[in-house]
Structure 1
């Protein structure tokens, strides 16, 4: 694969169509972070960044997949500096499909996790790399896939799904500082149906897990387990139609989960929080009345949350990146969409080294040959609520609040239905796209 073409561009008009406001809950002042830069990385095929992590040298490491090679879909890891310049990239390929979904940095390297279909069977896939991207260890510990990897003390923990005698269930694997497996656990769903974990949150005394259970339609599945993986409690949350979980953040006090819900008049971004004892504290829906979803969640310095995802509601392309900022109780503070006239979709978001935000994902616009890996950096902004033109509880807001009332059982809850979500408010403006650089070369 040739080294990706890199297109650097800046949106000159901050309120242009490429940075749209969704709904009418707009904060006064400069509380939304401004765009600093964005870049695309890709070859002749489709390329995706699925996750991103900070490195100690002020840069970032990204993981995903690339089709810009004759061998098919390969795992893809790239290191960039703080300005988005490529320092190195690596592809990892076999006879089948190879995908990386999650990445973290360790004290002396990188761990990336996903799925490989070498041999025709999906296998959980773990790569341990040094700081230059060279492989130290590669593991395929069993049938399944790993969707999440997180640092855990001096080691790391993996979450996903595996197949056992009882069918497909949740999978949690702990590795120590040497990379050796300390233990692994599998978890059946409450009714024995198919289940999978999408995210894991390590705490001081165990782990909080978020995923899905295919019971009837598809519902959210939340578990708390001890430091050796012993199950302490579990909850399911869902309505009449499909719900999906994509990401989670949290600590000892509880877990906040991001995803999407179709149990209403539209498909909406969906977030909710459970405390450490398994009590549901709040639930919100976000969107403009068509198709919206959230698949990244992170805590902000003001105690609130930042969620990223995608939207098809009133945008200028087939999909646009969607960023939502809330308070600690899930109340909407602001929301914004970023995109071109084609497919644009960020997956993860992390804090930059100077307090801003870095989003990574995929774009089909901005001069891309195909769908390319996409990185967007936003300035810090004021990550506080400031004052809003309208309260997030008023009907003009795009934030939905749970209307289900008390839970009927601790194991099954229903998401709320928001019946009055307004569409986009798209300002009339001009977008100037400036090509600052174009660079080609051979792959390292």
Structure 2
């Protein structure tokens, strides 16, 4: 299952961990007066809907001061696996973590691995069982069902290894920093496709017939490229506006086009507020990379493509901000919206899940529903 994740700004791994710790501290001091002096943790929550948006269940993963979910997949048995950050008693600081749940949201296992500071940014199931996890610091790690590390491969270069996908014919492809790396089932690097400096790779999808479609940002614009099975660029296109743009998702549509959804910032000089995103655009490219269509799409940055050619997205209404936002607002329910292949609203459901929450990722599920991953401050 494809997952789309809200990412932090590109920085070194240690710097990102410091940002996370600061984010935890601010609401704690702001809430000490009426909540009392207690240890603050950041718990993980999951919300599951059916195909018409009706709530099926919610689940919580708590008890870890470094616990945060970053990405989620549905597993072959109908359950779920989440990667992100957790605590290992033998390591001083946050480390990558995997949490598994059954199809009803009950926690089955929690496993940690790797070094600190780091976190798991994306994961897939391995064919023989267990998981393959891409970490922020630039490692691809294979673990078995018990969390034992079978191999761990350094991807080289800088940080920002956001996305791992299974490769057609076996192995894995990882997108991040300025490169895409193909890794075999044994953890050996098969090839590396390096892009020019300043061209950041944010996401990747496998093409069933072979090769990959990838995208990211370059300066104020977004770009998309098709690669063959050996990592050679077949074509690449740059799209954008006069303002700063941010790529949310790329996909191969049921019609065979390559679609990307990106947001445009009204005020490119203001780098701090998601509320400056005033327009979301879907662009469609032909098999040879030609731009064949664009349309405005009412969506948030936490979005996933659906099997029918539409999308599902999630977020909160925040005063003075345009569109749904990842960070919650007191009294604002979570909204999940399903769009059909024409970009029209199929359903818009709201859920009162409480305050002090943020939404991180959304995935489609095998029963045509969606599952939403988020965080909540536990005072």
Q: Same fold (TM over 0.5)?
A: yes
Paired residues for 1:219-258 under 5 Å = 220-239=178-197, 242-251=198-207, 253-258=210-215
Shift of the 95–106 alpha-carbon distance from structure 1 to 2, 3 Å rule, reads: closer
Shift of the 151–304 alpha-carbon distance from structure 1 to 2, 3 Å rule, reads: farther
TM normalised by structure 2 equals 0.68
Tell me which residue corresponds to 2:50: 81
Indicate if the aligned counterparts of 1:304 and 1:328 stay in contact, CA closer than 8 A. Answer: yes
Aligned alpha-carbon RMSD (Å): 3.7
Shift of the 184–224 alpha-carbon distance from structure 1 to 2, 3 Å rule, reads: same
Deviation at 1:142, TM superposition (A): 1.8
1:155 to 101, 116, 129: 129
Q: Distance in 2 between matches of 1:126 and 1:436?
A: 31
Indicate if the aligned counterparts of 1:309 and 1:347 stay in contact, CA closer than 8 A. Answer: no
Stretches of structure 1 lacking an aligned partner (at least 5 in a row): 1-48, 52-65, 163-167, 213-219, 383-432
Deviation at 1:95, TM superposition (A): 4.8
Shift of the 154–73 alpha-carbon distance from structure 1 to 2, 3 Å rule, reads: same
Tell me which residue corresponds to 1:278: 231
Tell me which residue corresponds to 2:16: none
Q: Distance in 2 between matches of 1:305 and 1:285?
A: 13
Shift of the 234–314 alpha-carbon distance from structure 1 to 2, 3 Å rule, reads: same
Tell me which residue corresponds to 2:254: 301
Paired residues for 1:158-237 under 5 Å = 158-161=132-135, 168-175=137-144, 178=145, 181=148, 183-189=150-156, 193-203=157-167, 204-212=169-177, 220-237=178-195
1:195 alignment partner, SS class: coil
Q: Greater relative contact order: 1 or 2 (C-alpha under 8 angstroms, separation 6 or more)? A: 1
Shift of the 83–186 alpha-carbon distance from structure 1 to 2, 3 Å rule, reads: same
Deviation at 1:307, TM superposition (A): 2.0
Deviation at 1:117, TM superposition (A): 6.1
2:114 alignment partner, SS class: coil
Deviation at 1:374, TM superposition (A): 4.4
Tell me which residue corresponds to 1:349: 304
Stretches of structure 2 lacking an aligned partner (at least 5 in a row): 7-23, 269-273, 356-379
1:345 alignment partner, SS class: coil
Structure having the higher helix fraction is: 2
Deviation at 1:181, TM superposition (A): 4.4
Deviation at 1:313, TM superposition (A): 4.5
Shift of the 441–332 alpha-carbon distance from structure 1 to 2, 3 Å rule, reads: closer
Higher alpha-carbon Rg: 1
2:97 to 100, 125, 148: 125
Indicate if the aligned counterparts of 2:200 and 2:218 stay in contact, CA closer than 8 A. Answer: yes
State how many pairs are aligned: 302
Shift of the 295–118 alpha-carbon distance from structure 1 to 2, 3 Å rule, reads: farther
